[in-house]
Structure 1
Amino acid sequence: MRAGYAARGVIYVLVGSLAFWAAFSPSQPEGTKDALSQLRAAPLGIAMLSFIAIGLFAYMIWRIIAGVADVEEHGRGAKGIFARAGQIVTGVIHGGIGLWVMALAIGSARDGQNSQIAWIQALLDLPGGRPIVATGALVLAGAGVYYVKKGAFSEYQDHLASAPLLSRIDPLLKYGLIIYGGLLVLVAVSFGFAAWNGEAAQSGGLGQALQSLRDLAFGRVLLGFAGLGLIAFALYNLAEAVWRIVPTIDGPGVETMRRAAQRLT
């Protein structure tokens, strides 16, 4: 779990930094896979990619175990089953990304954007393909709203252990979650257009969402805020790597951020 969150933190530090740089330079904002592709050429880049891949594999294993064994105590009701299924699905998705990152490290990865478009076009070409892609867009939008809600109402404070440093950076954690959720909604909108028009090329990832911000009025300012938000989201993932509480492992006696705040007030 902690290795997985750390790997996610490294990824979004890269994406956020490149986005912030693109706000004040001629370069284009990069999505997750493009940012990782640039990392490969850096000193120790292959070693870093290997670390990220291993972390994502570890995160996959953690999410699948968490969903099957219910170590975070979601329960067996409809809401709990949905949350646990979501853990398993996101675990498998991160495992797939980990495979791509490992392939990138050894020099055999395909272009991420072209691969995504090919997969979506294959789905669109199936009978009922458009509703399938549209459903995926709705799920992605729901995930975005979830992150916004998680940040806006400080829900993350229920599963992070109390620590003085976390109290000081709490506004950054909130900001990062809200920005990341908003960007996921933008990605979902592009998938919705792809489903509506039957054109896989209209679907975009995080890089296209960032580019769409830069194309707006005051776009470079918006892109700069988005880049900083992704760096803050990376900070949130790193906080999860260090202070995440797992109820069935850590026990009920660990003081959370929320409990500490309530005690002080």
Structure 2
Amino acid sequence: MSTKSDFGWAIPIMRAGYAGRALVYLVVAGFSLWAVSRGGEAQGTTSAFKSLESTAGGNVVLVAIFLGMVSYAVWRIIDSIFDLEDYGTDGEGMVARAGMIVTGLIHLGIGFAAVTLIFAGGGGEGDQSAISKGVTTVLGWPGGRWIVGAVGLITIGSALYYLKKAWKREYRKVLMGNPVTRNFDPALRGGVASQGFVVGVIGCLIVYAAVTFSGDQAGGMGEAFDWLRGQPYGRVLVGLLCAGLLGFALFCAVNAAYRIVPKARQESIDSLASRMTEKAKSV
């Protein structure tokens, strides 16, 4: 008979994955915010990794990112298949679970980009993102336009899910209630919202690539930064987004330490949501 502890073996994979994800956003948002503050431009993942590779100890961090991204991809696939976090089988739940696999594969690509850069010695094939390359490849397949369009719509669905989590603070349900999660709650909320915005822009760019039958405009965070920079007060907005993504790096780190996995719980743990509810009732 299945018990909640059956999937306890997945917890270390989850923690390693979220720690690696925190490292990715810390590197990308950190390098980008530093560049913007000095009059430069925000960097996409590939550019940020190249900047990191040229620093002392950068290769060690890139290896850690690779291992973390592999762990995150494995975790997301396991989580989606076995529904370890009880998203369910209704429409919203299935969109969330499909989005897990897409984001897992995307992060796996980020991991390989990091480790490939080590062997390329800072060289490589330029700054074109892995997403743009992948979209261009898939567009050449039979029915590729529909595949790309579907991936774009799933990505937009994931973005809306992030924004909904931030608006309703639903992320509190999967975090342990303790002083760390309570004190950093505003930063966590801003981080989740910032991630939702970035994912939404990426999803729209992928859909646009399907509509125009061209992968040139599709991309990741670098292309999202480029689009935002073209808006009124773009530099300020990019700086704010980078700060928000540092909040998302914190969110990932907090998840690595304090995330609750319903089907792998071995003891009763109060969530941040329940703790905050109790606090509100006591006021």
Taking structure 2 as the reference length, the TM-score comes to: 0.85
In structure 2, which of residues 47, 72, 77 is the aligned counterpart of residue 64 of structure 1?
Answer: 77
Alpha-carbon spacing, 1:89–1:211, altered in 2? closer, same or farther (3 Å): closer
**1:133 is matched with which residue?**
148
**2:212 is matched with which residue?**
197
Moved more, 244-253 or 36-45: 244-253
Alpha-carbon spacing, 1:52–1:122, altered in 2? closer, same or farther (3 Å): closer
AA in 2 matched with 1:10: L
AA in 1 matched with 2:269: V
Deviations 1:196-247 (A, max 9, x none): 2222212232112112222221111111110100100101000101100112
* Residues in 2 aligned to 1:115 and 1:96: alpha-carbon distance in whole angstroms: 7
* Residues in 1 aligned to 2:22 and 2:83: alpha-carbon distance in whole angstroms: 24
AA in 2 matched with 1:4: G
Task: Give the SS at the match of 1:113.
Answer: coil
Instruction: Determine whether 1:95 maps to 2:108.
Output: yes
* Residues in 2 aligned to 1:249 and 1:153: alpha-carbon distance in whole angstroms: 25
- Asked if structure 1 preserves the Cα contact closer than 8 Å seen for 2:77 and 2:104, the reply is yes
Instruction: Determine whether 1:167 maps to 2:182.
Output: yes
* Residues in 1 aligned to 2:61 and 2:91: alpha-carbon distance in whole angstroms: 40
Moved more, 249-258 or 104-113: 104-113
In structure 1, which of residues 152, 157, 162 is the aligned counterpart of residue 172 of structure 2?
Answer: 157
* Residues in 2 aligned to 1:246 and 1:116: alpha-carbon distance in whole angstroms: 30
* Residues in 2 aligned to 1:204 and 1:64: alpha-carbon distance in whole angstroms: 23
Moved more, 217-226 or 66-75: 66-75
In structure 2, which of residues 40, 47, 54 is the aligned counterpart of residue 34 of structure 1?
Answer: 47
Instruction: Determine whether 1:120 maps to 2:98.
Output: no
Taking structure 1 as the reference length, the TM-score comes to: 0.90
Q: Percent identity?
A: 34
Deviations 1:137-160 (A, max 9, x none): 211111111111111110100000
- Asked if structure 2 preserves the Cα contact closer than 8 Å seen for 1:4 and 1:55, the reply is yes
Deviations 1:170-193 (A, max 9, x none): 011111111111121112222222
* Residues in 1 aligned to 2:231 and 2:250: alpha-carbon distance in whole angstroms: 27
**2:24 is matched with which residue?**
11
Deviations 1:61-108 (A, max 9, x none): 222333333332344566555544443443333333322222222337
Residue-pair matches, total: 265
Alpha-carbon spacing, 1:145–1:23, altered in 2? closer, same or farther (3 Å): same
- Asked if structure 1 preserves the Cα contact closer than 8 Å seen for 2:84 and 2:263, the reply is yes
- Asked if structure 2 preserves the Cα contact closer than 8 Å seen for 1:19 and 1:210, the reply is no
**2:273 is matched with which residue?**
258
- Asked if structure 2 preserves the Cα contact closer than 8 Å seen for 1:24 and 1:220, the reply is no
In structure 2, which of residues 26, 34, 38 is the aligned counterpart of residue 25 of structure 1?
Answer: 38
* Residues in 1 aligned to 2:90 and 2:194: alpha-carbon distance in whole angstroms: 31
AA in 1 matched with 2:34: W
Alpha-carbon spacing, 1:198–1:240, altered in 2? closer, same or farther (3 Å): same
* Residues in 2 aligned to 1:91 and 1:115: alpha-carbon distance in whole angstroms: 14
Instruction: Determine whether 1:47 maps to 2:60.
Output: yes
* Residues in 2 aligned to 1:256 and 1:114: alpha-carbon distance in whole angstroms: 38
- Asked if structure 2 preserves the Cα contact closer than 8 Å seen for 1:162 and 1:256, the reply is yes
Deviations 1:97-134 (A, max 9, x none): 32222222233764461654343223223343322222
AA in 1 matched with 2:103: T
Moved more, 51-60 or 226-235: 51-60
Task: Give the SS at the match of 2:39.
Answer: coil
Alpha-carbon spacing, 1:81–1:141, altered in 2? closer, same or farther (3 Å): closer
Long gaps (5+) in structure 2: 1-13
* Residues in 2 aligned to 1:174 and 1:220: alpha-carbon distance in whole angstroms: 23
